[in-house]
Every structure is written in C-alpha cells, then in structure tokens.
Amino acid sequence: MEPRLNDTLHAMLTDFGFLKSELILASGIMVLVIVGLFKPRAAVLHLIALAFLLITSIAAYVNVGYEPRLLFGGIVRSGGSFSDFFKLLFASGGALTVAMTWRGEQQRRLSEYYALLLAVILGANFLVMSENLLVLFLSLELVSISSYVLTGFSFEKKSSEGSLKYFLFGSVASAVMLYGFTIMYGLFGTLNYPDFQLPSVDSSQLYFIAAVLSLAGFLYKIAAAPLHPWAPDVYQAAPMPIVAFFSVVPKLAGVGILLKFSQLTRLPITDLKLMLAGVAILTLTVGNFAALWQKNVKRLMAYSSIGQSGFLLVGIVSGSTQSAEFLLFYSTVYLILTFLIFFYVQKFEMAGATTIADYAGIGRTYAFAGVMMLIGFIALTGLPPTAGFTGKLFLFSALWESYTTSDEGILLALLIFGLLNTVVSLFYYLRIPYFTFIQKGETTPAQNNLTFENLLCLILVLAVLVLFFSPGLLMGWINKTNFAF
Amino acid sequence: MQQYLISFLIFIPLVAAFAGIAIPSSFKRAFRILSIGVSILQLILICLSFGDYNPEAGLQFIEKHPWITLDLGTWGTLKAEYFVALDGLSFPLVLLSVFILLIATISSWTIDHNVKGYFLLLLLLNAAIIGTFTALDFLIFYLFFEFMLLPMFFLIAIWGGARREYASIKFFLYTLVGSIFILIVMIALYLSVHEQGMNEGIVHSFNLLNMTDANHFIPESILHPGNPWSLGIWNAREWAFLLLFIGFAIKLPMVPFHTWLPDAHVEAPTPVSVILAAVLLKIGGYGLARIAIPIFPEAALHFSMFVGIMGVVSIIYGALNAMASTDLKRLIAYSSVSHMGFVLLGLASVTQEGIAGALYQMFGHGLISAMLFILVGVLYDRTHDRTISNYSGLATRMKTYTAFVLIAFFASMGLPGFAGFIAEILVFLGAFKAPTANGVLHESLAVLATGGLVLGAAYYLWTLQRMFFGPFNVKGGIDEASLTDVDLRERLMLIPLALLTFFFGVYPQPVLNLIDGFAKQLHELVMTAGTALTIIP
C-alpha cells in the first residue's frame, strides 16, 4: 500500500527537527540578507554572523553522540558523531573566519559576504550528512558556487581572474563527477550509496571507472594533485579570511565526504584504495616540493595546504574506524593551526608584508607574534611538543597497521613518502620564521603585544600544546561518542 | 629529594627559561647570572647524588608516572609514561653534560647581541639534553631528541658566522632525516610491543625496557622475531636496526653522513660548538647503546661487521680530512668524526672491553673536544681568523695558551696519561678480542684503526709545528697586538677541563666503575638474546 501523503508530510516535518544546525544556518543567511538591506554598521553584521555560527556550533556539539537516524527516506543521516563532529569544526572555522574578517580590511558588502559564508557552511554540513549521490552533488555545488563568488570579493581585476579560474576548473570537475554518478546509477539502480551492491554480472571494471570519475570532484575540492592547480591562484586572489576559510572548511568537507563514501560503499574496491594512496603520494610530493620555490606567502600557504591534503588523505587510505577517528583529531589540529598562521599572515599583510622577503626583521617589531607563528609552523611540520606531531603519529600508526594487515607495497611507499615529505616541509615552513628572526630588516620600535590577535592566537597555541601533552582530552571524546558515519 | 633528582635536572632549566621571559631584555647581566646559576645548581645536585648512586645496581633514581593513556577501542590502549632513570650508560653522560653546559655558559659570557634570546635558548637546550639522556620511554626520548634541534638551529642561525644560514639549515635537515628514520621504527615498535600482565586488552607501550625483551612482542606483529616478513635480503628487525643505526649515525656523525658537522662547527659560535661536539654527538652513540643494539640484538650481531667497517672508515677518513683542513676549527671538527669512529668500532666488537671503551670514549672525547673548541674560540676572539697558514710561532707570544693547546692536542691524539688513551686502548682490546671471542669482527679492522692513531698524531703535530713553533709571523692582516695570552675567564674554563682530562687518564676507575656494569649487561644481552634469536637468512 502506498503511504498516504499525510503520513509522508508528517514524517518529513519530524525529520526537520533533526536538522537544527542547518535550519539555524539557513535562517542566518536570510537574516543577514534582510538586515543588509537597512545598511547597518559593520559591527552589527559581524555580530549577527558570529552569533549564528556560535549557536550552530553549540547545536552541533549538543548533537554529538545522538543515535544515527536516516532522514527523508534515507538521503541524509543525522546523528552519528562523525558528521556532527565535522559540523562542529565547520562552524568553529566559520566563527574564526568572522573574527579574522573583523580584524581585516574586507568591509564591503558584508551582508552578502557573510550570507555566502554561511551558505558554504550549510553546504558543507549537508555534504558530510549525505547518503545519496544527488544530495551529495547538490551540497557540493552549494559549497562550490558560493566559494566562486567569495573568491572575487576583493573586487579587483586579480580577484575576478582567480574567481573565474576557480569557476572554470570547478565546473569541469563537477561535470566529470556527475558523469561518474550517472554510471553508478545505471549500475546499481539506486543513488543511496550505502546500498550499492554489485550486480551478479561482473561489472567491477565499469564501477572502477565510475568511481575514478566521481573522485575527480572530491579531489578537486580538497585540492589534491593532479586537480590542485587552481589553489595557488585562488589563494592569491581571495581576501585573507576567505583564504583561511577555504583551506579549512571546504577542504575538510571534501575529506569528510571522501572518507564517508569510501567507508560506506561496502564493495571490494581495493583498487580504489590503492589509487587514493597513489594520489596521496603525488599530492604530498607536488605540494611540498612546489612550496619550496614560492616567494609569496599566500602562494606558499596554498602549496602547504595542498601538502596537508596529502596527510589528510593518509587517514582515508588507512580505511579503518580507528584511522577515521585519528583523521578527526588531525583535522581539528589542522583547523587550529591554519587559523593561527593566517591570523598573523593577515596582520603582517596589513603591515605591508606580502612576500617572504618582506618578513625580514619583522620578529623584532612583533616578537610575540613571531614566536606564536614559529610554534604554528613547527606544529604544521609535525614536530613535538605540539599536537601536530601527535596527529601525524596517529595517522602514520594507522597507516602502518593497515599496511601490516593488507601487505600492499604502496602503503609502505606512502608511509615513507609521507615521513620524508615532513622533512621537505620543514624546509619551507622554517623559511618564514627564518626571515622574521634571523634576517635583518628595518627595525621599528617594538609594538604593543596586547592585541586581539595575540590573545586569540595564544589560546590556539595553548590548545595545540595541551593536545600534545594530553591527547586524551580530544581523542577520548571522539572515542566516547559512539562513533558512526 | 633524591628521588626527584632527574626531574629537578630537567625542569630547573625549563622553569628558569620561562621565568626568564618575564625579565626585560635590557638586563643583560641577569640572563648570564640566571643561566650560570642553573648550571651550578645542576652540578651541585648531581655531585651530591654521586654518593647515593650504586654502580652495581642498574637503574636508579627511577621516576615513573603515567602520562598518556588512550583507549583506542579495537586497537587496544596506547600508553606512554614519564619514565626516567639513570644507569651506567646515562650517568656519566649526564655528569658530562651538566659540566660541559656550565663551561659553555661561562664561555658565552662574551655574547653581546640579543642576550636574552641566547640564554633562554641555551636553557631550553639544557633541559632537552638531560631529558634525552635519561628517558626510558621512547616517546619521551623522541620528544626531547626533536626538541633539541630547535634551540640548536637558532643558536647557530642567529649567533653564527658568515655562512650560518646554510650551516644551520643543513644541520636541521640532516638530523631531521635521521629522526624520521627513528620515528618509523618507533611507530613499528610500539605497535609490536605490548605490556604483559595487564587486566584486559592489549596495552601498547613505549617502554624501552619492554622492547628489549622478546617476550613482550606480540606474535604475528611486524617486529616479532618470528615474523617472516622481509624486504629484499633483510627481515623487518634487520631493517629496523638499520634505520635506527642510520638515524643515530647521522647524529654521531659517521662517514658518509658527517658532512653537516664541519659546516655546523665552523659557523657556530664557540659555546655552541662546545656543546655540539662534547654533548650532542654523544647522543648518537647513546642511542645506539640504549635503543638500537639492545632492542635488536640479533640484528646488531648480524651487522656488527658492517658497523665496525663504517667505524674504521670514519676513523681513517675523518683523520685524512682533518689533515687536509686549512681552517683550525674544521680540523678539530673532522678529528671529532675520527674519534667517534672509535665509538662505532667499540660497540661493534660486542665485547665488554669494547663497549666500555666506546662509552669511555664518549665521556673522554666530551672533555677533550670541549677544550679544543674553547681553545679555537680563544684565538678567534682575538684575531677573527682561524686559517692555520696565517699563523706561525705563536708559542713566543702566547705561552700559556700554547701550553693548553699542547695538552689538548696530546690528549686528543690518545697519548698515555689522558682520558682518550684509556678509551682507545679499551676499544682496541675489544676489537682485537672480538674475532676470537665472538667471531664478529675481522682482525684487520683493529689493525687499520690503529692507522687512525698515527694519522691523528700526524695532523696534530703538523699543526703544532705550523702554528706554534718556528719564528713568529702572522699574515692576512692580523693585528699582532691582539695576540694576548689567555685571561682569567678563559683559564677558569680551561684549567678544570685540562685537570679532568688528565685525572681521568691516570685514574679512570670512578667512571669505569659506572660504565662497566652497563657494558657487561649489554654484552651479555647481545650474546645471549642475539644468538638465541636465529636470523632468517
């Protein structure tokens, strides 16, 4: 018997109750657009955006550990600590972006700017919740299209160029991905990817092609090689808070859905895992080696974030529940570190330093900032005593474990490449502290240390140190909240 | 108080460093006094506890506290502890480090630019060094081992000579490559080792003592002795030993991984060179004796011939390079490479004498190389020129200085009556005995190594002849008036070093007593455990 329309509507209404974070974000977007019509002062918009993001993160936090529940006939899933943890990360990333915008130069068209920012987060939320290829595609497009516009928000020739490049590259990637999805639909007769079952006829090769095509979209989003060339141009063109935001939220959303997709499709796809390992090796190598030759700080950070995608991919390749939890740990650390660095990159850019050479002697003027940045870079490299080390130790332990159980040579290669790449990354990460402290530049009198940046970044640095000395604070929590995708 | 000795040694400099941040940078004197006060306090603490240390008893002053305990579900529990202790291996080295750090602090008195940063970094380095030598938990060891790099990097890069950028980055990258190798083995080890006797589930621990016991390895795990996994011609345990060996050999340094050392030494300021040569190089030998050999005894036996050959190559190649050096500091840096070769040869012999000799060489070389680098610093402070050919007949102008140089050079040559002699004679005894006792080394290695002694005598005597004897003459725009003899502060550093070098050359027993127990234990461990575990060919 067909379910009555009334029942269906009723079920949908109850399901909406499980989308608190998303409803808050959606209403935030509307409030921002409407308030923007009255031309309010910038502070009002900052506050509104911040308030909505904080409420969202609280809603996500409260939600962590709820029983998983499929909504709307199984196309999205709420609950299950995995997606809620990511939502918490997205909202925190958004809140930090607001703080950065408040301290930065970007003050034009703030209402649209924040509305788009919230739209990206909304898309990211749905992305990690999706259990259906169509929802996956729609939320990925929501993230992408809002991102294209945000890239151009400096309203200069250069930023329009970056925005267009991003758009062209992005639409091709989306198209390729959509093509892959259509093949999958034809193959399995359903769009809900946890239900995929190979038909009796041997079609694993066709599935492999479809999966490779679909991967293009994910890899593009996280800026993994060979789909990374957009990143440096976009990073250079976009306003600084947006650069920081791009290297965290859409990237982690991409990582999240890739992880979820690879874990939930219970198909014999070792080929795919091996291919991801190859992509990880390539990404690590391309990102880290290209970063060695950069002179512009923003471009350097772009390649650094490509390299970091490689490390995040390590967590996906290992493919155990444990590695997924480690990936969440590393993602958190990565978020903290990225904002730590970008807060200061923005501050120094406003002081007139855009290339690495401009940083010469800046450590004398801003001693405190220089030290904080140094700790940030040390942590990004993955040296103790920072949580960056703990995160990498966890990820590589999981990879090692995965290697010893599966005995695939490429996993060992990934392990070795990954670890050797940390050495390479040290070389360019240390260049900025090297210029700030060791090179002599013009000396200006020391600045007041008691600024908003320094206080906030002190908290971030302390978090990174505390998470090294007792990783249980975060790992224990991730572990406790009955982890499910 | 005694039971917290090690924590005091580690945390006093750390606390002082953090307290120092609050002092305004204009109070230059305050930082010197703070730094020297910390060193004197550490020296007093360790000297007071010397009486309580029982050389017969193995690990002492043990501190063991839980640090990280993570329940990782299906993976078992990850457990790291704050586990530090002293034994016959670490006690002499901690003693040496504390003493050398005091000397280096005195030597830093002349640093006049960015004093605050310098002394705070020195204090951080101090804490990291003591921590590395006392840690018995792999994670803590690794933490301190890595943490040492950063202060060292900045000390060379900010206060160094003309090519400091190149030298400091090279130092950092070489050591980091080594520590990545160590990290790979650390990950494999902690996944392979479990703690026995725990209630339920597997507890993966970083405890270094557990790792030396084959019973603690999880069956089927990658580093379990019975695991048939192999890559190329070596099995997992042999690879692990090789990775650890390379990691520590870079630090030692061993030819061909030594090229960072001359650059770092030449560019580093005098006190940093002193610490680098006298203490940091010892971490390579320490790591081999503490981690690589006891954990993989059968691989250590298997590769002892190779290690011995590399030792002899280092001895000869380092000495030849020293002979060809035109810069006095570079000469001494290469002589360090040569002397560290004896450490490798002694450890490779796996005899009690050889191991004791290797450890004594680390101790003795610490004293002698500190003295050598301070002497180079004395000359460089006066003339800013270290080119050997620019000097001649210095003995006529700087009499006391020449006397100290004679002592240091003769001690470094391994002349009887100095600490270096005892060490080298023990290493030779071990190396000559090994072919018959253990069958691990070839007779020719010891014979070839003696060649190193001859070369050592040659480059030192030649340098003496060129720089100090003959008619007085300086070239290269050196101001003759600047060549004054050693002053009081320099004597304060040189006299204790000279006396100790002499004392430990005539009466080595106090240190040998400490070392001997450990050497015996390591020898027995490798001979029993190493031969019990058969090597899959």
Residue B535 has pLDDT above 60, yes or no: no
CA distance A181 to B262: 60
Please give the pLDDT value at position B17.
Answer: 93
Reduced to 3 states (helix: H, G, I; strand: E, B; else coil), residue B326 is coil
Q: How far is CA A298 from the centre of its chain?
A: 17
Our CA dihedral for B488, B492, B498, B502, rounded to 10 degrees, sits at 120
Report whether pLDDT(A109) > 70: yes
Q: What is the mean pLDDT of residues A14-25?
A: 85
Give CA–CA dist B26/B345, Å, rounded.
49
Residue A2 DSSP one-character state: P
pLDDT tens digits, one per residue of B320-376: 999 999 999 999 999 999 999 999 999 999 999 999 999 999 999 999 999 999 999
Mean pLDDT over the full length of chain B: 90
In this structure, which amino acid lies at residue A229?
A: P
Q: Residue B456 contacts by C-beta under 8 Å, 6 or more apart in sequence? A: B319, B322, B335, B338, B412, B413, B414
State mean pLDDT over A382-408.
89
- Give the relative orientation of helices B138-147 and B164-192 as an angle to the nearest 10 degrees: 170
pLDDT in tens, A58-71: 988 887 767 777 88
Q: Do B73 and A479 touch (CB under 8 A)?
A: yes
Smallest Cα distance from A341 to chain B, Å: 19
Is A430 close to B73, i.e. CB distance below 8 A? no
CA A449/CA B521 separation, integer angstroms: 55
Residue with the two structure tokens 């990404």:
A283
Containing H/E element for B350?
none
Task: Tell me whether residues B147 and A419 touch, CB distance under 8 A.
Answer: no
Which residue matches tokens 């991967």?
A215
Nearest to A419 among B75, B173, B183 (CB): B183
Token representation of residue A334: 């990565």
Q: How far is Cα B386 from Cα B384, in angstroms, rounded to an integer?
A: 7
Q: How confident is the model at residue B200 (pLDDT cuts 50, 70, 90)?
A: low
DSSP state letter for B426? H
Tell me the CA distances in angstroms from B162 to A12, A231, B266, one per residue in order: 73, 38, 10
Q: Can the peptide bond before residue A385 be classed as cis, meaning omega within 30 degrees of 0?
A: yes
- State whether residue B150 sits within 8 Å of chain A by CB: yes
B74 and A CB contact within 8 Å:
yes
Q: Give the whole-angstrom CA distance, residue A38 versus residue A44.
A: 11
Taking CB atoms and an 8 Å cutoff, what residues of chain B touch A422?
176, 180
Are A385 and B222 within 8 A, CB to CB? no
Contacts of A7 (CB under 8 A, 6+ apart): none
Q: What is the mean pLDDT of residues A229-258?
A: 92
A121 vs A146: CA distance, rounded Å = 10
Mean predicted confidence (pLDDT) in A417-442: 85
Residue A44, min C-alpha distance to chain B (Å): 39
* Per-residue pLDDT tens over the stretch A184-206: 898 888 888 888 877 666 677 88
Tell me the chain B residues in contact with residue A434 when contact means C-beta distances shorter than 8 Å.
157, 165
Cα(A257)–Cα(A93) distance, rounded to whole angstroms?
Answer: 17
Mean pLDDT of A107-114: 86
Quote the Cα angle for A101-A105-A107, to 5°. Answer: 70
Q: Is A378 on the interface with B (CB under 8 A)?
A: yes
Question: Which of B67, B120, B143, B164 to mutate: most A Cβ within 10 Å?
Answer: B143
CA distance B123 to B142: 19
Q: Does A264 touch chain B (CB under 8 A)?
A: no
- Residue A194: asked if its preceding bond is cis (omega within 30°), the reply is no
Kindly determine whether residue B191 and residue A475, on different chains, have CB atoms separated by under 8 Å. no
pLDDT for A482 = 66
- The first and second tokens of residue B448, run together, are 């070839």
Nearest to A271 by CA among A315, A322, A212: A212
Between B72 and A38, residue with greater pLDDT: A38
Chain B nearest C-alpha distance from A371 (Å):
11
Nearest to A330 by CA among A215, A475, A221, A466: A475
ipTM given for this complex: 0.86
Contact between residue B13 and residue B42 where contact means Cβ atoms under 8 Å apart: yes
Q: What is the number of H-type helices and E-type strands within chain B? A: 22, 7
Q: How far is it, in rounded angstroms, from Cα A267 to Cα A214?
A: 15
Kindly report, residue by residue over A147-160, the tens digit of the pLDDT: 999 998 888 888 89
Over residues B79-106, the mean pLDDT reads 93
pLDDT at A190: 85
How much is the pLDDT for B454?
Answer: 92
Secondary structure (3-state) at B266? helix
Does the beta-carbon distance from A404 to B221 stay under 8 Å? yes
DSSP codes joined into one string, A311-348: HHHHHHHH-SHHHHHHHHHHHHHHHHHHHHHHHHHHHH
What residues contact residue B522 under an 8 Å CB cut-off, 6+ apart? Answer: B289, B293, B294, B355
Tell me which H or E stretch contains B81: strand B77-86
Write down the pLDDT at residue A8: 80
The Cα of A199 is separated from the nearest Cα of chain B by a number of Å equal to: 33
Contact A377, A430 (CB under 8 A): yes
Which burial class, exposed, middle or buried, applies to B58 when counting CB atoms under 10 A from its CB (0-12, 13-18, 19+)? middle
User: Is any Cβ of chain B less than 8 angstroms from the Cβ of A384?
Assistant: yes
Q: Which chain A residues are Cβ-neighbours of B191 within 8 angstroms? A: 397, 400-401, 404
Half-sphere exposure of B267 (CA within 13 A, CB side): 24
Of B157, B173, B188, Cβ closest to residue A434: B157
**Whether the predicted pLDDT of B534 surpasses 60:** no
With CB atoms and an 8 Å threshold, state whether B68 touches A401.
no
3-class DSSP state for residue B473? strand
How far apart are the C-alpha atoms of B344 and B304, rounded to whole Å?
9
CB A166 within 8 A of CB A153: no
Q: Is the pLDDT of residue B112 over 70?
A: yes
Q: Is the CB of B480 inside 8 Å of chain A's CB atoms?
A: no
E strand or H helix that includes residue B193? none
Tokens 């795990």 found at: B221
pLDDT band at A269 (very low <50, low <70, confident <90, very high): low
Per-residue pLDDT reduced to its tens digit, B248-298: 999 999 989 999 999 999 999 999 999 999 999 999 999 999 999 999 998
Q: Is A401 on the interface with B (CB under 8 A)?
A: yes
User: Would an 8 Å CB–CB cutoff place A479 in contact with chain B?
Assistant: yes
- The H helix count followed by the E strand count for chain A is 20, 2
CA distance B482 to B502: 30
User: Which helix (H) or strand (E) covers residue B392, if one does?
Assistant: strand B391-392
Q: Where are the alpha helices (DSSP H) in B55-207?
A: 90-107, 115-134, 138-147, 149-159, 164-192
Q: Given this model, what pLDDT does residue B536 score? A: 46
pTM over 0.80: yes
* Contact (CB<8Å) A397/B190: yes
CB contact, 8 Å: A385 with chain B?
Answer: yes
Containing B280, the helix (H) or strand (E) segment is: none
Q: Which of residues 238-257 of A touch B (CB under 8 A)?
A: none
Q: Do A384 and B172 touch (CB under 8 A)?
A: no
Q: Is B172 on the interface with A (CB under 8 A)?
A: yes
Instruction: Check residue B167 and report its DSSP letter.
Output: H
Cβ within 8 Å of residue A103, ≥6 positions away: A343, A346, A347, A452, A453
Alpha-carbon span B312 to B335, nearest angstrom: 13
The CA distance from A56 to A89, in Å, is 11
Q: Which of A419, A426, A434 sits opposite B184 (nearest CB)?
A: A419
A415: which chain B residues are within 8 Å (Cβ-Cβ)?
A: 184
Mutate one of A390, A393, A424 to test the B interface: name it (highest B CB count within 10 A). Answer: A393
| Torsion of the alpha carbons at A244, B150, B27 and A344, rounded to the nearest 10 | -10
Distance separating alpha carbons of residues B359 and B382, to the nearest angstrom: 35
Using CA atoms, how far apart are residues B157 and B405, in angstroms rounded to an integer?
28
Q: What is the pLDDT of residues B489-508, one digit of tens each?
A: 999 999 999 999 999 999 99
Cα→Cα distances B325→B280, B305, B318, B378, B470, Å: 23, 30, 11, 19, 20
Report percent pLDDT > 70 for chain A: 95
Tokens, residue B175? 């050591």
Residues found in chain B: 537
A462 interfacial to chain B (CB closer than 8 Å): no
Q: Are the beta carbons of B202 and B191 closer than 8 angstroms?
A: no
B184 and A415 in contact by Cβ < 8 A?
Answer: yes
Contacts of A385 in chain B (CB under 8 A): 143, 147
Say if B157 is an interface residue toward chain A (CB within 8 Å).
Answer: yes
Instruction: Please tell me which of the candidates B165, B180, B222 has its beta carbon nearest to residue A420.
Output: B180
Average pLDDT score, chain A: 88
Query: What pLDDT shows up at residue A188?
Result: 85
Residue B165 and residue A434: Cβ atoms within 8 Å?
Answer: yes
Query: Which residue in chain A has the smallest CA separation from B222?
Result: A404
Task: Give A384→chain B minimum CA distance, Å.
Answer: 6
Tens digit of pLDDT for each residue in A314-355? 999 988 888 888 999 999 999 999 999 999 999 998 888 889
Specify the amino acid at residue B307.
Answer: V
What was the pLDDT predicted at A33?
A: 93
Record: contact A378-B188, CB cut-off 8 A? no
Cβ B187–A396 below 8 Å, yes or no? yes
Q: Round the CA-based radius of gyration of chain A to a whole number and report it.
A: 22
Chain A hits for B26, CB-CB cut-off 8 Å, are none
Cβ of A322 and B221 within 8 Å?
Answer: no
Cβ–Cβ of A437/B154 closer than 8 Å? yes
**CA-CA-CA-CA torsion sign (B250, B252, B256, B257):** positive
The one-character DSSP state at A358 is G
d(CA B493, CA B92) in angstroms, rounded, equals: 20
Q: What is the pLDDT of residues B13-58, one digit of tens each?
A: 999 999 998 888 888 889 999 999 999 999 999 988 888 888 888 8
> What is the C-alpha radius of gyration for chain B, rounded to an integer number of angstroms?
23
The DSSP result for A374-430, as a single string, is HHHHHHHHT-TTSHHHHHHHHHHHHHHHHHHHH--HHHHHHHHHHHHHHHHHHHHHT
Which of B153, B154, B187 has the CB atom closest to A393's CB atom?
A: B187
- What residues in B contact A419, CB-CB < 8 Å? 180, 183-184
* Residues of chain B contacting A430 with CB distance shorter than 8 Å: 153, 169, 172
Q: Is the dihedral of CA B215, B217, B219, B222 positive or negative?
A: negative
* Chain A residues touching B74 at Cβ < 8 A: 321-322
- The predicted structure's pLDDT at residue B537: 41
